Each structure stands twice: as C-alpha cells, then as structure tokens.
Amino acid sequence: MIRQSILAVAIALGLQASSQTLFTYGNDSVSVQDFLQAYEKNNSAGKNPKAMQEYLDLYITARLKIKEAKARGYDTLPNIVSEMQNLRAQILPNYLNDPKSMNKLVNEAFDRSQKDIHLMHIFIPVTGGDTASTYQKAMQAYQQLQKGVPFATIAKQYSGDPSAASNSGDLGFITVFSLPYELENLAYATPPGKISPIYRSKAGYHIFKNAGERKALGRMRAAQVLLAFPPGADAASKQETKKLADSLYNRLLKGDDFGKLAAQFSADPISAQTEGRFPEFGVGQYDPVFEATAFALSKDSAISKPFATAHGYHIIKRMDRLPVNKDRNNVEAMQQLREKVQQDERINTTQADLVKTVLQKAGYKISPYQQNELKAYTSQALDSQTSGTQFQIKATTPLFQLGNKTTTVDDWITYARNNRFKIDGTSKPFEQLWDEFMQYTALEYYKDNLETFNPEFRSQLTEFREGNLFFEIMQKEVWGPAQNDTVALQNYYLQHKDQYIWKKSADAIVFYAGDATTAQQVLAQLKKSPGKWREIVEQYNEKVTADSARFEWSSIPGITNASTNKTFTQPQINKSDNTTAFAYIIQVNMQPVQRTFAEARGSVINDYGIELEKKWVEELKKKYPVKKYAQAQLTPGP
C-alpha cells in the first residue's frame, strides 16, 4: 500500500505526470498521468497530500465499480446505448473543425483586432463568362496606380462600385470581420501606404490601398436622431432638413430629452422605438462619416452636432465605448472572439485543413481506375442516357479506401445525383462535384471515427459513458436496496438503535428565503402571527420555503443556548449566494430520547447504504485484486 509519507514527499517536491503504472486492478492498470488528470479535474485543493490520498482511494473504488459494470454488460443496455448516441450527436458539431486551424484563426483574428486600416478600393466587376476584357481593365487601372496617378482619380475612372463616384473609393476604416474573409486577408496583407496586387474574387477584380493604420478604436453603443432626406431631394429640401436638425440640436443643448426627440422625429423606425438606441457597432459597418463622428465623441452622453450622410442628417449621442481586448489571457473575451470566428465564413477554411488531416491519418488509398472513364460513366448515369459504350467500371467498382471503408462508384453516383446542381440551377462541373464528394466523404469518416482523431472528444465520451455505468451499478447494488428494502432498513435500525438518539433538539419550523431582505420581511410578519406561518410563506411563492420537524440543536440556523420556546432565531446569511435562513422554536427538548424508525429513516438509509457499499467493494477487491506501486510513481519535478 502507498504510504502517506511517500505521497507527501512526492507532492512536496512537485508532482510530475508519468506513464508509469500507479496501480492495477484485475488485468487493468492506471498510470500516474491518468490519475493526476482525473485528480486535477475534480479537485481544487491543489496537490495536498491528504486530499490526494483520499481521492486515490475513491478513484480506485470507482474503477472497480465501472469494471464490474462492464463485466455485467451494462454498457450494452438500451438506455446506456441511447444516451451515448444522443450525447455524441449533441457534442459532435463542436468538434467538426480542426483544432489547430481553429486556434490559428482565433489568434489571427485577435492580432487583426488590434488595429484598424484606412482602406481605399477599386472594384472591376465581372459580367458574363469572358473575363479577359475585364482583367485588362483591372490591369490598366493597376498600371496607372504604379505610375503614381492618385488612387482617388483611378477609382472614379475605373471602379464599378457605385459609391466610388462620391467617395473616390475611400471605404474609411475597417477592422477584423468588416469584410468578407478573402478581402480581409488582402487588406491585412497590404502594408501602410502600399497598393495590393490585383485580386480575383467570384464577383470581380479588387485593388486595395492601405491609406494608413491606427490602434483599434473598439466598439460603440450609441443613439441617434436621423432626419432622412426625402426621395429625390433637391438642395432646397436638404437645407430644410438641416434647419430642423439644427433646431433639434439646440433643444438638446438646452436639456431636451434625447430619447423623446428620437421617438418623435427620427426616420429610423427601429431605433426610434428604443429612444434612438441601436445595436453596438464597430468600424467598417456604417458610413465612414457616421463612424468617424461617433468615435470622435470624447465621453459618454456627449452629443454630436448635426452632420450629413447620403441618408440624411444625423445627431448621435454616445452611450458607451467598448475598448478592444488586448489580453490573450482574458478567457471570456477570447471565448467571445472564438464564437465570432465560428459564426464567420472563415471557419470554412478549417474544414479544408481537416479534410487533409483525415485523408492523411486514415490512409487514403486510390483504387486503380480511369478518371476519364468515370467522368463519362457519370455523365451517362446522371442523364439516364445509354450510349452503347462498354465501361470497365461498374456500380461496385472501388474508387478509394479510407480507413476500413471502401467507397464505390455507386456511392459516388448517389452523391452526385443529390448534389449536382448549383443554387442557380446550373450543373456543377465534374471537378467541382468530385472535390465536394471527397470533402463530404472525408468529413463523414471523421464524424464516424472522431474518437480516433480527437483525444478530447474521446475523453469526454469516455467520462460520460463511465459516469452512466457508475450510476447504473450503484443504483443496482447500493442506492436501490438502501432506499427500497424496508425490511433490511428496519433490521439495520434495530441493530444500531443506539446510533439514532435525539440529543439536544427542538421542534421547530425552519424558513429559507432567497435573500436577506425577503427574510426580514417574512420574519416581521411571522412575529405578529406565528400561527399563520403557512399562509405567510404561500404569499412569497417560491421565494420562501419552510420545513416543520424535529431538528438536532446544531442543525437549526441561528440557534443559541439562550433560545427558548416560542422564539425566533436570528437570520443567518449564506455568503456564497445571499440565501438566508432562520427558525421558529416551538419546543426545546433537552433530554436524550430514542428516535423512532420513521424519524431516523433518512440517516438509516444513508448508513445502511454505506455498509452495503463497503461490503460490495471488498468483494470487488477480491474479484479484481488491487496492487499499488510504492516506488516513486508520483515523481518529484525538476
């Protein structure tokens, strides 16, 4: 047996995880590393010798019980199998991205969130199938920029973005998540003062200029009054809108309520209903002039002068400024950033990395067949044609091996039939459809075999499965008999009657309130009418509960040696959650007296269960002998 002193020395010097065996039970073994992982996950006491020794004993008995449950086949019980399937389905979506790729994206987003980029943009849209002339136009614009022609001039001349005529291609400041991910990558890859290479997206060609950078401004909560320009507004009507804006601004300076003016005058129907408030925003979401004005407000409650955008005249009130998180160790902020990454299109890049990992680790092996023949066979199968061509391949021909699963031509044709069309109704090219099929197959294999790819997923499932087995066998061997075997409980009570004695006690009513204020209110009412305690408690619904019984002296909240019959104890506040308890003492019982079986039943169930468990564990230790290793298994650290 491992002696306390050995553990104490090892702990004092610093424990170090090891693959060495700590103990065996039957033909199974547990390593030091496994034990320490379990201990650290379930204990906050640190590497305390006494706590570790106590946990080791509990851990050994738990392993014995789980081993016995498996030996009895409890892991094949329908309820256990069903619960495991449900759990797997619930947590699986959280593991469908490659962890390394995910962490890379989160760290990338954090780095990018630290600065804002002043971005200028030229966009040459692609129309129709032939992009040669479009590319030539983009190249002409790029060459002009290389010669030193101002970016604004080229943007007005070449850009297909309708706003370029008025803003000269100036997008204002952007930050992480402001743009589609592919364009965000282009923006952050362009150094300050420099022009990006020509970039081709699905929509067309892009050229960026990084006009400058600054430390990120963060996000803003604000309210606005928007006085919208009428459709087709001329200069005169715009001037009238400005006069109204100036009038409202002067009223605000004199103390008029911003929310009321927003509700009465603002043309934004959503924010007008919330006193002008609209959702928090960051740079790159709204008109650059709007954002610049909002972020220029120096303090909360500051109000901007009226200013114009293409929408009309705005007056902004700053409500709150939310700075950018600069600490990678801020767990809450980093988790929020991770959630944004998971909801963004950039998450799709992790699946591409994941597919590569799956193909590599699962032993992807191509079968011998001709791709051109498969292409012709596919075209005929999808269009239900018969050309008379004799193909060497057929439905059962293997295409590739992934792990222990062989994918056949029939699998491919089934997928192609269900996924051959684009959203616009046109057919996908064979190459695109094949790439999607490969990704689908790899991800399905990953889902079906996730335990072999992800240790964390495997550990979570194992922990849940063993928890279910532990509960099932404890219910069978201990909890069920201890609660339901009335004859055995009565016999145990008769054999141990001297353990169930009322010592100093009291007949009392104990009241539990959700907070101290409520407790004082109830106490004040009870003092006036103690006999109406049930009616008083009912008035507070679930905020107050009461328990009327005989209690041991020490278990009554606020009890003192001075407590007498027909008195209340002082409310006792639980500092962890502010719940408060006090009691009304009906009758003090000073003399010891035997508890009846009914009065002692709760304690009898607990004690009888402990005895049952102790005897059962001894039997398990005989069935699965436990051997502990006293060598320096919990080894001292460096």
Separation CA 113–CA 215 (nearest Å)? 9
Mark whether 437 and 512 lie in a shared domain.
no
Q: Is the pLDDT of residue 337 over 50?
A: yes
> 627 in a domain, yes or no?
no
**% of the chain residues with pLDDT over 70:** 94
> 623 in a domain, yes or no?
no
Mark whether 174 and 249 lie in a shared domain.
no
Tell me which of 215, 232, 248 is where a domain ends.
215
> 193 in a domain, yes or no?
yes
Mark whether 316 and 376 lie in a shared domain.
no
Separation CA 388–CA 403 (nearest Å)? 36
Write down the pLDDT at residue 508: 95
Q: Is the dihedral of CA 33, 35, 40, 42 positive or negative?
A: positive
17-26, 105-114, 210-219, 421-430: the lowest-pLDDT one: 17-26
Write down the pLDDT at residue 46: 65
The burial class, CB within 10 Å (0-12 / 13-18 / 19+), for 53 is: middle
Measured in residues, the chain has a length of 638
Mark whether 11 and 75 lie in a shared domain.
yes
Kindly report, residue by residue over 59-109, the tens digit of the pLDDT.
Answer: 999 999 999 999 999 999 999 999 999 999 888 887 877 778 889 999 999
Kindly report, residue by residue over 264-311, the tens digit of the pLDDT.
Answer: 999 988 888 999 999 999 999 999 999 999 999 999 999 999 999 989
Separation CA 621–CA 60 (nearest Å)? 10
Separation CA 367–CA 370 (nearest Å)? 10
Q: Is the pLDDT of residue 12 over 60?
A: no
Mean pLDDT of 365-387: 85
Other CB atoms within 10 Å distance of the CB of residue 73: 9
> 335 in a domain, yes or no?
no
> 88 in a domain, yes or no?
no
Separation CA 631–CA 622 (nearest Å)? 23
**Mean pLDDT score of the chain:** 89
What is the value of pTM for the model shown?
Answer: 0.59
> How many helices and strands, by DSSP H and E, does the chain display?
25, 23
Q: Report the CATH number that the domain containing residue 185 is assigned in CATH.
A: 3.10.50.40
Mark whether 381 and 292 lie in a shared domain.
no
Q: Is the pLDDT of residue 7 over 70?
A: no
Write down the pLDDT at residue 387: 62
Name the residue with tokens 């197959």: 441
Separation CA 365–CA 474 (nearest Å)? 47
Which helix (H) or strand (E) segment holds residue 558: the answer is: none
Write down the pLDDT at residue 353: 81
Mark whether 291 and 234 lie in a shared domain.
yes
- Confidence grade of residue 15 (pLDDT, cut at 50, 70, 90): very low
Q: Report the CATH number that the domain containing residue 559 is assigned in CATH.
A: 3.10.50
Mark whether 252 and 315 lie in a shared domain.
yes
User: Could you give the number of structural domains in the chain?
Assistant: 5
Mark whether 269 and 318 lie in a shared domain.
yes
- Confidence grade of residue 388 (pLDDT, cut at 50, 70, 90): low
Q: Is 274 helix (H, G, I), strand (E, B) or coil?
A: coil
Higher pLDDT, 224 or 19: 224
What's 571-609 look like in SS3?
CEECCCCCCEEEEEEEEEECCCEECCHHHHHHHHHHHHH
* 179 to 183, 352, 396, 440: CA distances (angstroms): 6, 21, 46, 28
| Bridge partner list, 589 | 505
Mark whether 581 and 511 lie in a shared domain.
yes
Write down the pLDDT at residue 519: 94
Higher pLDDT, 385 or 546: 546
| Bridge partner list, 582 | 511
Using an 8 Å Cβ cutoff, are 361 and 451 in contact? no
Q: Is the pLDDT of residue 457 over 50?
A: yes
Mark whether 140 and 193 lie in a shared domain.
yes
Per-residue buried b or exposed e for 170-193, using 16+ beta carbons within 10 Å of the residue's own CB: bbbbbbbbbbebebbbbbbebeee
Q: Is the pLDDT of residue 112 over 50?
A: yes
Write down the pLDDT at residue 590: 87
Strands (E), 309-420: 312-322, 365-366, 398-402, 405-408
- Confidence grade of residue 3 (pLDDT, cut at 50, 70, 90): very low
Enter the tokens of residue 233: 């507004």
> 628 in a domain, yes or no?
no
Q: Are strands 501-502 and 405-408 parallel, antiparallel or unpaired?
A: unpaired
Using an 8 Å Cβ cutoff, are 354 and 105 in contact? no
Kindly report, residue by residue over 523-543, the tens digit of the pLDDT.
Answer: 999 999 999 999 999 999 889
Kindly report, residue by residue over 498-521, the tens digit of the pLDDT.
Answer: 999 988 999 999 999 999 999 999
Separation CA 597–CA 610 (nearest Å)? 18
Which helix (H) or strand (E) segment holds residue 194: the answer is: none
- Confidence grade of residue 19 (pLDDT, cut at 50, 70, 90): low
> 632 in a domain, yes or no?
no
Q: Is 518 helix (H, G, I), strand (E, B) or coil?
A: helix
Tell me which of 169, 192, 215 is where a domain ends.
215
Of 40, 36, 47, 55, the C-alpha closest to 13 is: 47
Mark whether 168 and 238 lie in a shared domain.
no
Range of the domain at 168: 115-215
Separation CA 41–CA 35 (nearest Å)? 10
Rounded to a whole number of angstroms, the CA Rg of the chain reads: 37
Contacts with 255 (C-beta within 8 Å, 6 or more apart), sequence order: none
> 150 in a domain, yes or no?
yes
Mark whether 127 and 211 lie in a shared domain.
yes
- Confidence grade of residue 173 (pLDDT, cut at 50, 70, 90): very high
Tell me which of 59, 79, 99 is where a domain ends.
79
